[in-house]
């Protein structure tokens, strides 16, 4: 077993769809899976795992290609599409003995969670999504006034990307720091210690490429087709997220018929870290404490 960070959490690993998967698990009660995005891994949920574990059986995995989970060396379209991640979540639930679970997700994680809810709605009790990419955004991703925000999506298509970003620990740190701080309303949450944890995770062999492969898979195969998510869904949308502006929430009801929606002021992309007390309270209220 590889050496996992000493962070006070209980670390586990399992064979999930033939891959060595790493996850953290705390608490007991109804199952809740916390699904990270990019740039992320299980530790982005650090302010949430402990409080939520007082009410739920909380599982926070590193998804395929990320941090301390195995990274299949296959073409992105063969291993990193939303369907691959959704099937991994099903296999993880099977391994843990969860007939169904609640999912809390953001960024790419929100895409994978939606895919799971569409493909296997019987396995999803409820969804909680933060600033989620969804079908109603459409071509707004690449409107002229937003291109300066999404430049990295094009950069990630190049094999040169992991070579440059991974050329040194300093380069990896500078790249990650840019997104963690630029996408946040609260810049002060990213201490040097926090940044070092992210650099450690993305310095694992293949981790930069694994994350970039998610963008490559989307560009090569297209996003999952827009489909309605019929399970009960709570969307919290931060008002200061530059990559997913709150104005893009305007079509949520079309895609989430059973929607509860809240705008969150003074927060950006990393809502769970910028407003953890509010987020934890909303999750417990929506999912229902035992």
CA 275 to chain centre: 16
Q: Of residues 62, 107, 185, 198, which has the active-site annotation?
A: 107
Of 138, 90, 136, nearest to 113 by C-alpha is 90
Q: Is 108 exposed, middle or buried (0-12, 13-18, 19+ CB in 10 A)?
A: buried
Q: Let me know if 11 is a catalytic residue.
A: no
Q: Of residues 22, 84, 156, 269, which has the active-site annotation?
A: 269
Backbone angles phi, psi at 150, to 5 degrees: -105, 15
Q: Let me know if 215 is a catalytic residue.
A: yes
Of 213, 168, 279, 166, nearest to 72 by C-alpha is 213
Element (H, E) at 115: helix 108-119
For the chain, how many residues are written?
290
Q: Of residues 23, 42, 66, 215, which has the active-site annotation?
A: 215
Q: Helices (DSSP H) in 183-238: which residue ranges?
A: 192-202, 207-221
Residue 139's CB: how many other CB atoms inside 10 A? 7
The Cα 119–Cα 121 span in angstroms is 6
Q: Let me know if 68 is a catalytic residue.
A: no
Active site residue ranges: 107, 215, 269
């Amino acid at each position: 077993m590889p050496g996992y960070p000493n962070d006070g959490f209980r670390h586990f690993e399992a064979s999930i769809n033939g891959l060595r998967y790493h996850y953290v698990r705390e608490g007991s009660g109804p199952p809740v899976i916390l699904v990270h995005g990019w740039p992320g891994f299980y530790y982005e949920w650090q302010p949430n795992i402990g409080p939520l574990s007082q009410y739920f059986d909380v599982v926070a995995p590193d998804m395929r290609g990320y941090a301390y989970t195995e990274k299949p060396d296959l073409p992105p379209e063969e291993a990193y599409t939303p369907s691959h991640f959704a099937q991994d979540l099903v296999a993880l639930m099977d391994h843990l003995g969860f007939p169904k679970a609640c999912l809390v997700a953001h960024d790419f994680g929100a895409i994978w969670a939606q895919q799971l809810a569409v493909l296997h709605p019987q396995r999803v009790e409820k969804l909680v999504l933060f600033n989620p990419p969804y079908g109603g955004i459409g071509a707004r991703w690449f409107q002229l006034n937003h291109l300066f925000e999404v430049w990295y999506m094009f950069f990630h298509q190049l094999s040169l990307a992991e070579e440059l970003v991974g050329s040194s620990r300093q380069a990896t740190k500078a790249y990650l720091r840019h997104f963690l701080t630029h996408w946040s309303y609260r810049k002060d949450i990213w201490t040097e210690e926090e940044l070092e944890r992210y650099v450690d995770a993305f310095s694992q062999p293949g981790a930069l490429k694994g994350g970039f492969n998610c963008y490559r898979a989307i560009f090569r195969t297209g996003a999952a087709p827009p489909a309605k998510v019929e399970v009960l869904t709570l969307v919290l949308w931060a008002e200061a997220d530059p990559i997913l502006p709150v104005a893009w929430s305007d079509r949520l009801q079309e895609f989430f018929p059973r929607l509860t929606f809240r705008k969150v002021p003074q927060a950006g992309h990393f809502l769970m870290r910028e407003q953890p007390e509010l987020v934890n309270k909303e999750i417990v209220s929506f999912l229902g404490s035992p």
